[in-house]
Amino acid sequence: MFHFNPMAGNACFRGWGGGNSWIRVGWKPPSTGIFKLNIDGASKGNPGKAGAGGLIRNHEGRWVAGFCHNIGTTNSLEAEVTAIRDGLELVNRLGLTNVDVETDSKLAVQLIAGSIFSGERVNSLVNDCRRLMEEIGSTTLRHVYREANACADILANLGVVVDGLEVFANAPSCVVHQLYNDAIGVEYSRQMKQHEDVGVRGGVMRQRLEHIATVF
Ramachandran category for residue 61: left, alpha or beta (phi over 0 → left; psi -120 to 50 → alpha):
left
pTM of the predicted structure, to 2 decimals: 0.83
Of 8-12, 112-116, 171-175, the least confident: 8-12
Please, is 68 exposed, middle or buried when counting C-beta atoms within 10 Å of its C-beta (0-12, 13-18, 19+)? Answer: buried
Chain-centre distance of CA 32, in angstroms? 19
- 2, pLDDT greater than 60: no
- 208, pLDDT greater than 70: no
- 165, pLDDT greater than 50: yes
3-state SS, residue 198: coil
| Length reported for the chain | 216
- Give pLDDT, residue 20: 74
pLDDT category of residue 12 using cuts at 50, 70 and 90: very low
- 81, pLDDT greater than 80: yes
Dist CA 185 CA 74 (whole Å): 34
- Give pLDDT, residue 97: 93
Instruction: Tell me which of 144 and 209 has the higher pLDDT.
Output: 144
E strands in the chain: 3-8, 12-14, 21-25, 35-44, 48-57, 63-74, 99-103, 139-143, 165-168, 188-192, 200-207
- 215, pLDDT greater than 60: no
C-alpha dihedral over 104, 109, 112, 118, to 10 degrees? -90
- 11, pLDDT greater than 70: no
- 51, pLDDT greater than 60: yes
Fold category of 26-183 in CATH: Nucleotidyltransferase; domain 5 (3.30.420)
C-alpha dihedral over 89, 91, 95, 98, to 10 degrees? -130
Q: Domain limits of the chain?
A: 26-183
- 204, pLDDT greater than 50: no
